[in-house]
Structure 1
Amino acid sequence: MSLSQFDPATYTSQLAEKKQRLIELLAPFDAPEPEVFDSPREHYRLRAEFRLWREAEQRHYAMFAPGDKHTPILLDDFPIASTRINQLMPQLKAAWQASQVLSFKLFQVEFLTTLAGDALLTLCYHRPLDAAWQAEAEQLAAELGVNLVGRSRGKRIVIGRDFAEEELQVAGRTFRYRQPEGAFTQPNGAVCQKMLGWAYEALGQRDDDLLELYCGNGNFTLPLATRVRKVLATEISKSSVNAALANLEGNGVDNVTLVRLSAEELTQALNEVRPFRRLAGIDLKSYAFGSVFVDPPRAGMDPDTCELTRRFERILYISCNPETLAANISQLSDTHRVERCALFDQFPYTHHMEAGVLLTRK
C-alpha cells in the first residue's frame, strides 16, 4: 500500500467499490449479495517489515514505491500498523542509534504483533552475530518487553520465543494461537476474527466430518473442529504444521488429524493414485466427509483439487484473490451453487480483498 492511499475519509467509498467488484465477479453464478465485514480505519495491520536506509550517518525506517528500490520513503511511524508497532518503532530506533553493536550492518527490521498484546521483533544483518550482539539484544528485548530474533547469513539467534502468542474470540470461546517468526499469519487481526466467526456460522453444526486443505497454523481449524465429528487437515509448510500441532494441543482440540501433504498430494491419495508414507496409519475410508474447507494461495485451487472438492455436499472457500475464486466457482457451477458469500476487508486502501463463499450441492 502506498502511504498516499491512506485516507480514512475515503474508506467507506473504497469499501463500496470492492463490494461492487465482488458482486460483478460472482454475478454469473447468481450469488446472493455479499455480507460485508469492514476493517478498523487505522492501526489494523499486525505485521510490518521495513528496510533501513542510511542517511546523515543514521539509519531510518524506509519503504519504497513498487518497482523503485532507489527512492526511499523515510518513516517515523506507520499509521496502518498496530498501536504496538507504532510504540516500538521509535524505541527500537533509539536503541540502534545508541549502539554500534546493534546498528552495524543492520539492514531490515520485521515486527509481528498480536491483538493479545504480544510482540516479536526480527533484526536482519549483513554480518555475523556474536556474543556482544547477543548481550545487547537480550538487554534490548527486556527493556522493550518483546521476544527477539537475530538473523544473519546461516545464523539465527532467538531471545525469548521465536513466535508470538495470539488470542481470537469465536462464538464466545477464546482460541489461543502460536504464530511463528517467518511463517504466514493473517495481517489484519480484527478482520481475521470476523472471518473465523463467519466461517464458523456458515459451516453450521454437523454430525459428519470435515476435510481442510491449506490449514496453515490452524487458524480456521480450531473453531471449525468444534462444529464437526472429526477433521482431516493438510498443510505442506513444516513450520506451519508444527505451529498447528502446538495450537491444537494448547486448545485441547483432539478430533483433528493433521498430515503434511500438499492439496495436490492429498487429491492423489484420495483418488488412490499413489500411497504416501505420511498417511501411514490413517484410514481415509473411515471418514464420512460432508464438507471441505479451503483457503488456498492467490493462484486458487488447481483443476484436480477443484475437482476433488466437487465430491462434497458443502464447499467452504476463503479466498485472497476473488478472480481465481470466480474461476474455481466456474469449474464447480454445474454441480454447486453459491449459497452465501462475504467480503472481508483485510487490506484497506488497496485493491486487494478477501472473500468467502459457501457452495452447496444443487
Structure 2
Amino acid sequence: MLRERWEASPTLNHKLFQVDFLTTLAGDAMITMCYHRPLDAEWQAAAEQLAAELNVSLIGRSKGQKLIIGQDYVTEKLDVAGRTFSYRQPEGAFTQPNGTVNGKMLNWAFDALGERQDDLLELYCGNGNFTLPLATRVRKVLATEISKTSVNAALSNLDDNGVDNVTLVRLSAEELTEALNEVRPFRRLHGVDLKSYDFGSVFVDPPRAGMDPDTCELTRRFERILYISCNPETLAANIAQLHDTHRVERCALFDQFPYTHHMESGVLLVRR
C-alpha cells in the first residue's frame, strides 16, 4: 500500500532510491525516504500529506539535507523482569531489528548477569538497550559507545527511565582498552576515575566483526563475560581466544531474523 502511494506521486517518487522503515511494538512507525535530488517545498507538502494519511513520522534525506515530518525517532517499550523500560530509537542509529526477540534477549541477559554487589563494564552500548536493565543488577556501570547519535539516545533513555548509576563515555572499545591499560589519556574521560570501579563483569555486544584481539584480551580480567553476538563465526573465534581462562557456563540462541540463516547468540563465560 505504501509503495503504491509514493509511486503514484511524481513528487515523492522522483529520484527516490531507498526507503527505510522503523516500527516498534509500542505502535510507533517512522519512514525514511532517501533521494538523489534536493528536497523542496513541493516535496514537503506531499510528504506531510502522506505522513498524515498513514499516521507515521516521515524523514526525507538527500545529500546535506534532512527534513523531518513528525519526529526523527520512535519509542519502544519493553518489559524486563516486571519493569517496563522506554527506549528512544533515533533515525539512522542501530537498533535491534525484532522487538519481541529483543525483549527475550534482555530478560536472558538480566537473568544471566544476576544480582551483583560490584560494577559492570559495558562495551558497544548503543542506545542503552541492555544498559538500562543491567544497571539495576549492579552497583554502577561504565558504558562506552562510539556513535554520537547512539550516545545521545542512550543519555536520553537513561534520564527518561530514571537510571542514575551509569557513566556513559563516547569511546570505541579499542580506545577504552588503551585507557584501562594506561597506554594514553583521553580527554573524553576527564572527570571519570577508572580506579574507582570494582568491575566484576563485562558485557559486550560487538558488531559482526566481533571483539578485536586487544579488547578480547582485556575481557580476561573479568570474572564474568556476558557476550551477545550477531555473528557465530567471530563469537567462536573470541571464545577460542578466551578458552584457557574462561569457560562457557550458559548460552542461548535468539532468532532475530526468521526464515534466514542469521542467528543471534548469548553466552555467559566465567573464569575457570
TM above 0.5, yes or no, is yes
- The match for 1:167 among 70, 77, 90 is 77
Q: Note if 1:144 corresponds to 2:45.
A: no
| TM-fit CA distance, 1:107 | 2.2
For 1:115, give the aligned amino acid. Answer: L
Is 1:128 equivalent to 2:38 in the alignment? yes
Match of 2:155 in 1: 245
1:224 and 2:134 matched: yes
Structure 2: distance between partners of 1:127 and 1:143: 24
SS of residue in 1 equivalent to 2:39: coil
Root-mean-square deviation (CA, aligned residues, Å) is: 1.0
Partner SS, residue 264 of structure 1: helix
Q: Do structure 1's residue 206 and structure 2's residue 116 form an aligned pair?
A: yes
Mapped partners of 1:235, 1:176: distance in 2: 19
Distance in 1 between the 2:204 and 2:106 partners? 13
Task: Please show how residues 1-362 of structure 1 align to structure 2 within 5 Å.
Answer: 90=1, 92-362=2-272
SS of equivalent to 2:38 = coil
Deviations 1:17-49 (A, max 9, x none): xxxxxxxxxxxxxxxxxxxxxxxxxxxxxxxxx
Q: Note the C-alpha offset of 1:351.
A: 1.8
Alpha-carbon deviation of 1:112? 0.7
Q: What SS class does the counterpart of residue 182 from structure 1 fall into?
A: coil
Which residues of structure 1 form unaligned runs of 5+? 1-89
Distance in 1, matches of 2:98 and 2:3, equals 24
Tell me the distance in 2 between the aligned counterparts of 1:168 and 1:209. Answer: 24
Looking at structure 2, the residues matched to 162 and 293 of structure 1 have their Cα atoms a distance apart, in angstroms, of 29
Taking the aligned partners of 1:125 and 1:302, their CA distance within structure 2 comes to: 36
**What code does the residue aligned with 2:204 have?**
V
Q: By how many angstroms is 1:102 displaced?
A: 1.8
What's the TM-score once normalised by structure 2's chain length? 0.98
Letter in 1 for 2:82: G
Q: CA deviation at 1:100?
A: 2.2
Give 1:268's aligned amino acid: E
Residue deviations 1:64-103 (CA, integer Å, cap 9, x gap) = xxxxxxxxxxxxxxxxxxxxxxxxxx0x234324432222
CA–CA separation in structure 2 for the residues paired with 1:322 and 1:98: 43
The residue aligned with 1:72 is: none
Q: Over residues 192-214 of structure 1, what are the superposed CA-to-partner deviations in whole Å (9 max), with x where a residue is unaligned?
A: 11000000000001011000000
SS in 1 for 2:51: helix
| Whole-angstrom distance in 2 between the partners of 1:108 and 1:295 | 28
Deviations 1:312-345 (A, max 9, x none): 1110001111111111111111111111111111
Deviates more, 1:319-328 or 1:285-294: 319-328
TM-score by length of 1: 0.74
Counterpart residue type for residue 126 of structure 2: G
Deviations 1:278-297 (A, max 9, x none): 00000000001000000011
Unpaired runs of 5+ residues, structure 2, are none
Equivalent AA in structure 1 for residue 176 of structure 2:
L
* Partner AA of 1:180 in structure 2: P
Identical counterparts, % of pairs: 81
| Aligned residue-pair number | 272
Larger Rg: 1
Give the CA deviation at 1:138: 1.4
SS of equivalent residue, structure 1 residue 158: strand
Measure the CA separation in 2 of the matches of 1:333 and 1:94.
54
* Relative contact order, higher structure (CA 8 A, sep 6+): 1
In structure 1, how many angstroms separate the alpha carbons of the residues matched to 2:120 and 2:158?
16
Alignment partners' CA distance in 2, 1:245 and 1:340: 31
